[in-house]
Every structure is written in structure tokens, then in C-alpha cells.
Chain A
């Protein structure tokens, strides 16, 4: 059974702290993604990675960075957390494949981050 795990389900941090959100997939997928989910806004793409050590900005990368040192792990980093980064963060992975448009993304359970 495919599996995407995220390091924490709930996280509370203070403004200005450096925050690491970890995501691990066991499906040997090349592509990995970080989204944030906010009420009324759906899911918005923060960053994605085609493969190890590769990364691309999504629609809302400001205030975030990522790291992909190993194929199975994709980390989201908040360099200096702010209250407007309070949100649900979802990680996903997808196989490369020839027809990427039809490939399913597999999601982790999410991390609900609160920044005080």
C-alpha cells in the first residue's frame, strides 16, 4: 500500500522560529510537492521537486524553502515563522511516468501548524 507520511500531525511554534516539516514517501516516486490548505482557498502549491536535489517554486513560495537530499524525503522549511503561515500543510508524491498529467498524486495526512 502506498504511503506518504508527515513528521507531525500538529505543531505549535512561535513567531521567528525556524520550522522544519518533513515528508517521507515509500513508493520510489520522483516527484514530490508541498501545498498549504486554507479555508476557501483550496490547496496552493508552495514548492515541488522533480527529483533529488531539484526544486521548483510553486505559486506561493515566499517565506518558504525546501530540501530534497534523498529521493524519499522532501522537507519544507520556514526560515522565520510568521502568524500568516498558520495553516494545514500537505505533502504529496507522484511517479514520473510518460503521461504526467494523468498520474495520481498521493497525499500525506497533513500537518496543522499554528504560529503564535
Chain B
């Protein structure tokens, strides 16, 4: 079945540090890929997405590139802020499928001033 594997957290960084959160997936065909973010006390929000190989999703300074050859969708940000502290979830949705999102286990990010 489909699955998503995220790097284990928690991740703690200083403000302005470079962030990478690894995400790899297993799926039949070429799914759509997503990063969701959950700020403290809130539900999940879509951060960015990519729907086909080599697509780059970007939002709020975050980027992720859909790499078919490595089945990966790593999240990056060049300079994190304290306000980026949250839990980040990688997810996939199989193309043409009635099935729903499959989520990774989430990565807790804490950014220190």
C-alpha cells in the first residue's frame, strides 16, 4: 500500500538556520504530494503541493521538489523564523484514486530566537 516516511523529530534550530525535513514515499504510479503545517492549537493547513515529477511547490519561503527518481519530496527553507515552529506533515494522494490522503508521522520543528 501507499506510505509516507518522514524524518523523525523533533528538530530544533536557531533563527535564520537552514531547514530540511526529509520525506520519501511509496506509491503506485505518480501521486500528488503535499506538505501540511499544524501550528500550535490549530488544525492542519496546506503549505505547498506538487502534482507531477520535477514540479516545485513553494509558499512562505518554503520549497519542495517532486523527485520521481528518488521518490522524495523534501521540505526546505533557507532561513527559518520563530514563527515557523510547528508540526509539518508530508502527504500523498494517488492519481485518479478515490482514496484519500496518506500522511507521514509528522515532524515537530522548534525555532529558537
Contacts and interface: CB of A to CB of B under 8 A. Distances in A.
Interface of A: 4, 33, 40-45, 48, 58, 90, 92, 100-102, 104-105, 107-110
A101 B93 contact: yes
A97 B89 CA distance: 24
A42 B89 contact: yes
Interface in B32-54: 32, 36, 41-46, 49, 51
A108 B43 CA distance: 5
Contacts of B31: 101
Interface of B: 4, 6, 31-32, 36, 41-46, 49, 51, 89, 93-98, 100-101, 103-106
A41 B105 CA distance: 5
Contacts of A110: 42-43
Contacts of B94: 101
A101 B43 contact: no
Given A45-B100, A48-B100, A101 B32 contact: yes
Contact of B103 (A40, A43, A100, A102): A43
B43 A4 contact: yes
Q: Which 7 A-B pairs have the closest CB atoms?
A: A107-B43, A42-B103, A42-B105, A43-B103, A107-B44, A101-B93, A101-B32
26 contacts: A4-B43, A40-B105, A42-B105, A43-B89, A44-B103, A45-B100, A45-B101, A48-B100, A58-B100, A90-B44, A92-B43, A101-B32, A101-B51, A101-B93, A101-B95, A101-B96, A101-B97, A102-B32, A102-B49, A102-B51, A102-B93, A105-B44, A107-B43, A107-B45, A108-B43, A109-B42
A13 to B, nearest CB: 21
